[in-house]
C-alpha cells in the first residue's frame, strides 16, 4: 500500500483527509508543523507527500525543496488557498508534482494522488477495496430522522462523505437540486457527530425578512423594537453546543451576511437591544440549490463568508442520478405514509412500478414522497394502484386512457416555456422558478430542441 505524509496545520482538516485516504487504501501519517514533518520525511521514505504551502512557522517553498532534496523521487502535491495560484506555480518550478486549490472535494485530491502515482501502478489502491462497512438494512439507526442508505454509487459516495466529515467540526456546504434531501443530510451529519446530544436547529433563510434576520439568528430583549413583547432566544443560542442548519443561505441579504460572518468569526452574539455578548459554540451546516460561486462573482454573496461556510462541500445527487435506489426510497416513503395516515398498504402494483421507473422525477425525493403519500391516502386495498397516481406522471408510461391528461414531456416543456416567459428569458431566474439547477434547465431545453 502506498504511504503518504500529510503536512497541514489545520488539524481538523488534516485528520479528515487522513481518514478518507486511509479508507481508500493508503497508509497515511500526518504532521501539523514543519519541524515534525522534517523529522518524519528524513527518517521515512514516503511514496507521496501532500503539503500545505502556507504554514504558520515555516516557508512552504523551502519545505518543498528540503523534501525533494531528501528524496527526489517522492512526488509532492501542494495545497493552496484560492488566491495563491502564483505560489503554486513557484512550487511547480521547485519540483512539486502538482497543486490543488482549496476548497476541494475528497474526490479531487484522490484524482491528483492517483495521477501522481500512475508511474508506479503497484502502489495504487485496489479499486475493489471496501470503503465503508454498510448496514444490512438500508435505513440508519437514528429513528428520529431516518436517512435511506441507497445501493447506487452516488448514494454510497454521499454516505461516505457524511461519515467522513461528521466527526469533525468543519462547516459544511450542501448543494443539490430542490427536493433532494439536503436537510436530511444535514441532520445525518449532526447525528453522527459528537454534538448529537445537543440541539439541531434548522432555519429557512429564504423565509426570513431581512429586517427580522438579526432577531431570528441572535434573539432580542423585550421592548427592543415594536412587536418585541417578550425576550426571544435566537437560533444561535438555541443551537449552542449543537448544529445550526441554514437552508437556502444564498437568500440572505448582504447586511445579514455581514452579521452572520461576524458571529461565525467571533463566536459571540448580541441580542437585538442588548449590549451583553453571549458566547456560542455552534457548528454551521448550510445548504443551497443556487450556484454561490456565481453569486460571489456577481457581488451578491460575500466571498469571505462563502469560504467560511465551505470548509467542506457535499453535493446531493438527484433522484435521476441514483435511480437504482428508487425502490428503496419508495418503500421507505410507503412505510412513512402508512404510519402518518394510519393505513396498512403493503406495496405497489406492477403498473405503478412501471410508471415510477419511467417518470423523470423533476421534484426529486420530495415529489416521490408527496406522490406516495397522496396515493396511500387514496388507496383502499392492499397495494397502490395506478388510479391513485397524479395525472401528470401517468403519461410517462403511456397511459393515454386517463381523461384530461397531457404527456409528461408536453407538461414539462410547457412549464419550461412559461418559466422563461415569466422571467423575460433569464435562464438563471427560470431555473430558480422551476426549482432545478441551470445545468438541468439547459439540458431540458436542448432535449426538447426549444429555439430560445
Cα–Cα distance for residue pair 156/179, rounded to 1 Å: 19
CATH code at 433?
1.10.10
Least reliable range by pLDDT among 80-89, 127-136, 194-203, 225-234: 127-136
**What is the pLDDT at residue 134?**
29
Q: Are residues 184 and 47 part of one domain? A: no
How do residues 385-439 score in pLDDT, each as one tens digit?
999 999 888 865 554 444 444 455 666 777 788 788 877 888 887 877 776 677 7
Nearest to 232 by CA among 248, 247, 211, 216: 216
Q: CB–CB of 60/54 below 8 Å? A: yes
Q: Are residues 379 and 332 part of one domain? A: yes
Domain assignment of residue 306, yes or no:
yes
For the record, the C-alpha cell of 353 comes out as 412500478
Residues whose CB falls within 8 Å of the CB of residue 307, separated by 6 or more in sequence, listed in order: 82, 103
- Boundaries of domain holding 87: 3-123
Q: Are residues 368 and 388 part of one domain? A: yes
How do residues 275-307 score in pLDDT, each as one tens digit?
899 999 999 999 998 889 999 999 999 999 999
Q: Are residues 79 and 33 part of one domain? A: yes
With a cut of 80, say whether residue 352 has pLDDT above it: yes
**What is the pLDDT at residue 236?**
94
**What is the pLDDT at residue 208?**
84
Q: Are residues 327 and 308 part of one domain? A: no
Nearest to 196 by CA among 141, 275, 157: 141
Long-range contacts formed by 228-235: CB under 8 A, 24+ apart: 228/272, 228/273, 231/271, 232/271, 234/269, 234/271, 235/201, 235/203
Sign of the alpha-carbon torsion through 352, 366, 390, 379? positive
Q: Are residues 96 and 36 part of one domain? A: yes
Q: Are residues 54 and 174 part of one domain? A: no
Q: What is the CA radius of gyration of the chain?
A: 25
**What is the pLDDT at residue 139?**
41
More confident residue, 431 or 339: 339
**What is the pLDDT at residue 311?**
93
Cα–Cα distance for residue pair 205/207, rounded to 1 Å: 5
CA distances from 279 to 239, 240, 263, 305, 428 (A): 12, 9, 10, 20, 39
For the chain, the domain total comes to 4
Of 315, 338, 371, at which residue does a domain stop?
Answer: 315
Q: Are residues 367 and 349 part of one domain? A: yes
Q: CB–CB of 189/241 below 8 Å? A: no
Of 269, 286, 315, at which residue does a domain stop?
Answer: 315
Q: Above pLDDT 90, what percent of the chain?
A: 41
With a cut of 90, say whether residue 226 has pLDDT above it: no
Identity of the highest mean pLDDT range in 79-83, 318-322, 349-353, 365-369: 365-369
pLDDT band at 30 (very low <50, low <70, confident <90, very high): very high
Cα–Cα distance for residue pair 11/16, rounded to 1 Å: 8
With a cut of 50, say whether residue 171 has pLDDT above it: yes
Residues whose CB falls within 8 Å of the CB of residue 253, separated by 6 or more in sequence, listed in order: 210, 213
Q: Are residues 278 and 167 part of one domain? A: yes
Identity of the highest mean pLDDT range in 76-80, 92-96, 148-152: 76-80
**What is the pLDDT at residue 255?**
92
With a cut of 60, say whether residue 125 has pLDDT above it: no
pLDDT band at 450 (very low <50, low <70, confident <90, very high): confident
Identity of the highest mean pLDDT range in 136-140, 203-207, 376-380: 376-380
More confident residue, 136 or 221: 221
With a cut of 90, say whether residue 444 has pLDDT above it: no
Cα–Cα distance for residue pair 301/258, rounded to 1 Å: 10
Domain assignment of residue 128, yes or no:
no
- Looking up cell 461565525, which residue turns up? 264
Domain assignment of residue 130, yes or no:
no
**What is the pLDDT at residue 396?**
56
Least reliable range by pLDDT among 80-89, 359-368, 416-425: 80-89
More confident residue, 176 or 1: 176
**What is the pLDDT at residue 71?**
86
Domain assignment of residue 277, yes or no:
yes
More confident residue, 410 or 7: 7
**What is the pLDDT at residue 452?**
64
More confident residue, 357 or 408: 357
With a cut of 70, say whether residue 144 has pLDDT above it: no
Asked if residue 103 has a cis previous peptide bond (ω within 30° of 0), the answer is yes
More confident residue, 50 or 354: 50
**What is the pLDDT at residue 210?**
84
**What is the pLDDT at residue 127?**
34
Cα–Cα distance for residue pair 195/70, rounded to 1 Å: 43
More confident residue, 224 or 199: 199
Domain assignment of residue 135, yes or no:
no
Least reliable range by pLDDT among 21-30, 109-118, 156-165, 337-346: 109-118
pLDDT band at 14 (very low <50, low <70, confident <90, very high): confident
For the record, the C-alpha cell of 322 comes out as 441514483
Domain assignment of residue 402, yes or no:
no
Over range 235-256, report the average pLDDT: 93
More confident residue, 197 or 410: 197
Amino acid at each position: 500500500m502506498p504511504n503518504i505524509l500529510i503536512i497541514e496545520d489545520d488539524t481538523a482538516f488534516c485528520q479528515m483527509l487522513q481518514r478518507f485516504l486511509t479508507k481508500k487504501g493508503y497508509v497515511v501519517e500526518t504532521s501539523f508543523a514543519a519541524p515534525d514533518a522534517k523529522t518524519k520525511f528524513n527518517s521515512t521514505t514516503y511514496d507521496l507527500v501532500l503539503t500545505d504551502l502556507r504554514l504558520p512557522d515555516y516557508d512552504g517553498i523551502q519545505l518543498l525543496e528540503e523534501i525533494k532534496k531528501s528524496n527526489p523521487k517522492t512526488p509532492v502535491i501542494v495545497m493552496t488557498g484560492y488566491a495563491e495560484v502564483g505560489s503554486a506555480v513557484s512550487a511547480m518550478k521547485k519540483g512539486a508534482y502538482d497543486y490543488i486549490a482549496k476548497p476541494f472535494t475528497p474526490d479531487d485530491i484522490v484524482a491528483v494522488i492517483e495521477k501522481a502515482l500512475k508511474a508506479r501502478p503497484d502502489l495504487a489502491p485496489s479499486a475493489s477495496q471496501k470503503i465503508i462497512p454498510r448496514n444490512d438494512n438500508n435505513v440508519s439507526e437514528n429513528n428520529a430522522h431516518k436517512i435511506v442508505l441507497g445501493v447506487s454509487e452516488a448514494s454510497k459516495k454521499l454516505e461516505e462523505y457524511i461519515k467522513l466529515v461528521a466527526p469533525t467540526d468543519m462547516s459544511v456546504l450542501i448543494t443539490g437540486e430542490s427536493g433532494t434531501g439536503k436537510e436530511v443530510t444535514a441532520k445525518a451529519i449532526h447525528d453522527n457527530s459528537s454534538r448529537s446530544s445537543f440541539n439541531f436547529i434548522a432555519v429557512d433563510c429564504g423565509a426570513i425578512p431581512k429586517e427580522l434576520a438579526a432577531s431570528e439568528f441572535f434573539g432580542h430583549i423585550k421592548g427592543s423594537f415594536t412587536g418585541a413583547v417578550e425576550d426571544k432566544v435566537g437560533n444561535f443560542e438555541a443551537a449552542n453546543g449543537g448544529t445550526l442548519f441554514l437552508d437556502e443561505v444564498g437568500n440572505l441579504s448582504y447586511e445579514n451576511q455581514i452579521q452572520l460572518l461576524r458571529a461565525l468569526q467571533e463566536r459571540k452574539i448580541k441580542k437585538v437591544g442588548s449590549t451583553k455578548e453571549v458566547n456560542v459554540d455552534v457548528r454551521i451546516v448550510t445548504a443551497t440549490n443556487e450556484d454561490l460561486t456565481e453569486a460571489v462573482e456577481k457581488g451578491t454573496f460575500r466571498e469571505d463568508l462563502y469560504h467560511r461556510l465551505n470548509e467542506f462541500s457535499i453535493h446531493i445527487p438527484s433522484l435521476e442520478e441514483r435511480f437504482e435506489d428508487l425502490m428503496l426510497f419508495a418503500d421507505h416513503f410507503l412505510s412513512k405514509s402508512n404510519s402518518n395516515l394510519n393505513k396498512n398498504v403493503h406495496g405497489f402494483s406492477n403498473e405503478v412500478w412501471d410508471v415510477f421507473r419511467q417518470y423523470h422525477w423533476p421534484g426529486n425525493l420530495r415529489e416521490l414522497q408527496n406522490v406516495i403519500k397522496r396515493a396511500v391516502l387514496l388507496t383502499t386495498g392492499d397495494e397502490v394502484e395506478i388510479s391513485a397516481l397524479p395525472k401528470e406522471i401517468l403519461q410517462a408510461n403511456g397511459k393515454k386512457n386517463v381523461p384530461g391528461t397531457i404527456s409528461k414531456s408536453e407538461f414539462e416543456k410547457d412549464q419550461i416555456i412559461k418559466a422563461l416567459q415569466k422571467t423575460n428569458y433569464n435562464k438563471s431566474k427560470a431555473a430558480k422558478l422551476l426549482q432545478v439547477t441551470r445545468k438541468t434547465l439547459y439540458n431540458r431545453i436542448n432535449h426538447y430542441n426549444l429555439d430560445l
